[in-house]
């Protein structure tokens, strides 16, 4: 592994890392930015579905990251810079001092993902999740509880947005998922593949803890506030999480984690 010092924030070799906040909003044509040690460790691991393209780190972090960097393929350049130069490249103070450029995996097929799941598989189907923190939390819970995959409808935000990857602690990089689906088509495909499709909603008559386990289960999550549309709820079974004192609101990622725990443990 060769470490390449960078002294000029305008060095063309690190152009992909320039002004990352602004470029997060416009997309990266199949690439993404990963931030922080935990996420870099996932990206460099055999579990990652993504390929590392380049790494840019603060000089002070090079020694502590040596074991991760040594595991990268030989053709992945590792650039180092003083903190002041790194901040000018990124466009803000990068206190973690670690960035990586990665390549997204090829888009997955819904039919292939569902066909490859085992008889007791649990998947998460997300509808209208536009908040990147929630998206990252959903992937984090899916990885933690062994979900076979995550399905995203065409109203969901990009899970490869830098903040979503960071909140997921790298789970986005290793969890199989299919994006851009029409919600009704997604539900139909799940049913055709033998999944019991269970919408999480506070209005459900059936409490989650009394919902039978077993078989293939799809947990359907909607956006906080509006929740799932009525026409989609009508096409699914439903379950709710009983709460105390008339309170009826949980963060969607938290609700998803509770449901995943129920069906996988």
Residue 131 token pair: 């908040």
What angle is formed at CA 153 by the lines to CA 256 and CA 228, rounded to 5 degrees?
Answer: 55
**Strands of 122-127's sheet in order across:** 177-181, 149-153, 122-127, 216-222, 195-200, 237-239
Average pLDDT over residues 241-264: 90
Q: Residue with structure tokens 């393209």?
A: 53
Task: Burial-class residue 198 by CB neighbours within 10 Å (0-12, 13-18, 19+).
Answer: buried
* Most trustworthy range by pLDDT among 90-99, 191-200, 226-235: 191-200
The string of pLDDT tens digits covering residues 111-163 is 999 999 999 999 999 999 999 999 999 999 999 999 999 999 999 999 999 99
Domain ranges of the chain: 3-103, 110-264
pTM of the full structure: 0.94
At the topology level, CATH places domain 110-264 in: Alpha/beta knot (3.40.1280)
Query: How many separate helices (H) and strands (E) can be counted in the chain?
Result: 10, 11
Give the CATH class of 3-103: alpha beta
CB atoms within 10 A of CB 214: 9
Side-chain-facing half-sphere of 79: CA atoms under 13 Å: 24
Q: What is the dihedral of CA 84, 103, 130, 172, to 10 degrees?
A: -100
């Amino acid at each position: 592994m060769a470490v390449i010092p960078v002294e000029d924030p305008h060095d063309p070799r690190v152009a992909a890392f320039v002004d990352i906040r602004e470029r997060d909003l416009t997309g990266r044509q199949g690439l993404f930015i990963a931030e922080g040690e935990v996420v870099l460790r996932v990206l460099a691991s055999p579990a990652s579905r993504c390929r590392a393209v380049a790494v840019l780190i603060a000089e002070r972090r090079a020694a502590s990251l040596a074991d991760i960097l040594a595991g990268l393929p030989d053709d992945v350049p590792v650039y180092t810079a003083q903190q002041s130069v790194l901040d000018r490249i990124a466009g803000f103070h990068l206190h973690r001092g670690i960035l990586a450029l990665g390549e997204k995996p090829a888009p997955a097929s819904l039919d292939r993902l569902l066909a490859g799941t085992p008889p007791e598989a649990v998947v998460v189907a997300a509808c209208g999740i536009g908040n990147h923190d929630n998206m990252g939390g959903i992937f984090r819970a899916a990885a933690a509880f062994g979900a076979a995959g995550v399905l995203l409808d065409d109203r969901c935000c990009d899970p490869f947005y830098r903040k979503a990857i960071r909140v997921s602690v790298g789970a986005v990089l290793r969890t199989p998922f299919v994006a851009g689906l029409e919600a009704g088509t997604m539900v139909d495909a799940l049913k055709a593949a033998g999944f019991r499709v269970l919408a999480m909603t506070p209005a459900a008559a059936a409490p989650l803890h009394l919902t039978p386990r077993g078989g293939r289960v799809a947990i359907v999550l909607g956006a906080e506030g509006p929740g799932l549309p009525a026409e989609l709820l009508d096409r699914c079974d439903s379950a709710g999480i009983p709460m105390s004192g008339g309170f009826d609101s949980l963060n969607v990622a938290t609700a998803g984690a509770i449901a995943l725990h129920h069906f996988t443990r």
